Amino acid sequence: MEAPGRRTFISLCLYTALLTLSEVNSEIVHVPSVLHGVKGKSLLLSVETYFRLEDVEIQGSWYQTRPGGPKTLLVTFHNHTAIMVASMRHRNRYGFQPPNASLLIPRLDEAAEGDYHLDLDIQLPQRQELVRAERTVHVTVDVPVSTPVIQKAPSSTVVEDKENVTWTCRVENGTRVQYQWLRNNMPLDVSDRHQFSQDNSTLVISPVKKKDIGQYRCLARNHISQRQSHTLDLSVFYGPYNLAVKSDHGLRTGEVFTVNPGELVFFDCQADSNPPNSCMWISKTNNATEVITVGLRLEVTSYKLAQAEEFLCRAFNNVTQKQDETQFTLVVASLVTGKERYVQESRSFSPLAGITLSCLFIISCMLLIYFRRSCHHPRRVLMNIYNRPLTEQKRPHRSGHEDATEDFGIYEFVSIPGKIESTQASSRSLAHLESVQDLHTTIYDVIRHIPETPTLATRSLLGKQCEG
């Protein structure tokens, strides 16, 4: 008992949705607006429905309208069954395809081309009136294109700015063919010098320029296929362009060449030209011109020239009848060679190098003198102290280094083996030290305890220890 109720609920929902769709845009069925078919092949005019076919009742018909002809009934159907075919002539040409009211054309020919109309009456559940839908499909029948063939007229090389070129592209098979031209695989568009026919099968370049040189091909296509032709080259006589004089000799600054006296110099006149241009070399002296030679290279011996002379190279293309010229100046002057330049550069750095070396030498000498004066041997320091006058030795000892200038020097540790026994303090010998101690002490300590009047024994002992 629940299944019928659920089904009724679904049908009501579907009815509401279909009603809304029919009121808004009637998009309850969909068919493509255009279909492109291949001659001799089948084609299906499919119908897409937005409802459950088992929940509704449909009835409809397919019609065909050929270009310039009347509307012809092809088939009438009810639900999933074709109930009538318009004529026996159409029985084998069209077929009804249930369950969604699609139409099949088994084999396409020229007669199958045209507009196909679908009229549908849909009976929705729980609704008395019918929902009507009408759709139209445009069908084309084409033949695939064959490989295109291109031609060029004239077939020979053309002259820039004087001749035109006409390109044609043809296919043996194909319907509704459209053509596209490519140069070096890049599409060509309409311009002041590029004119196309209505279907683009013909291209006229008028006049021809150098930039038109390249490989041309044609692309042929229709709704169902496309093919490319083989490539064909376009050659053009042009120039001369970008004329320039070059030389591997001397020094060039702008349009001025400087060479050494007596040097043999060669100049080349180069230009972009097809065919290669011829050249004429002209000398300009005192407002007078003189043809020196004819050819691509000029040979000049500098000792035969004045200090400066002007030359002119004139290039001429015998086919295009165009010419161009360029002028340059040749100056004869001594040039510094690479080795001489290196020597001069080295000499330019010599004063600075000399000053630097001199400063380093002076600083080294000062440092040497400074260390020789400051780094005395300990024995020499000690002996100098004992050899002082008696008045200087009797001066009272001052703690610290208040008078360190006299004792300036490097001190090292001196080990004096043995012990000295403690006796009564005396100010005249080393034996009068304050206590018995290990005489592993420093020269600084010895200096600090220097007696006022050193004895001969003390001098001898210290002299031997320093020598040790």
At 162-191, the pLDDT tens digits run 999 999 999 999 999 999 999 999 999 999
Asked if pLDDT for residue 461 goes beyond 70, the answer is: no
In this predicted structure, what is the pLDDT of residue 384? 52
pLDDT average, residue stretch 55-74: 87
pLDDT average, residue stretch 351-358: 77
Asked if pLDDT for residue 357 goes beyond 50, the answer is: yes
pLDDT tens figures, 90-106: 666 788 877 778 999 99
Of 47-51, 302-306, 337-341, minimum mean pLDDT range: 337-341
CA dihedral 370, 375, 379, 383 (to 10 degrees): 30
Q: Are strands 226-228 and 278-285 parallel, antiparallel or unpaired?
A: unpaired
Distance of alpha carbon 443 from alpha carbon 466, whole angstroms: 10
Let me know how many helices (H) and strands (E) the chain has, helices first: 6, 32
Distance of alpha carbon 185 from alpha carbon 145, whole angstroms: 20
In this predicted structure, what is the pLDDT of residue 201? 95
- What does 132-187 look like in DSSP terms, one character per residue? EEEEEEEEEEE------EEEEES-S-EETTT--EEEEEE-SS-SS-EEEEEETTEE
Distance of alpha carbon 308 from alpha carbon 359, whole angstroms: 49
Specify the pTM.
0.59
pLDDT tens figures, 260-315: 887 888 999 999 999 999 999 998 877 788 898 999 999 887 666 667 888 899 99
In this predicted structure, what is the pLDDT of residue 396? 47
Residue with tokens 């065919």: 275
pLDDT tens figures, 116-156: 999 988 887 766 678 888 999 999 999 999 999 999 999 99
Distance of alpha carbon 250 from alpha carbon 262, whole angstroms: 12
Of 32-41, 70-79, 214-223, minimum mean pLDDT range: 70-79
In this predicted structure, what is the pLDDT of residue 388? 54
* Residues contacting residue 50 through CB under 8 Å, at least 6 positions apart: 18, 21, 27, 28, 29, 30
Q: Which residue has the higher pLDDT, 22 or 250?
A: 250
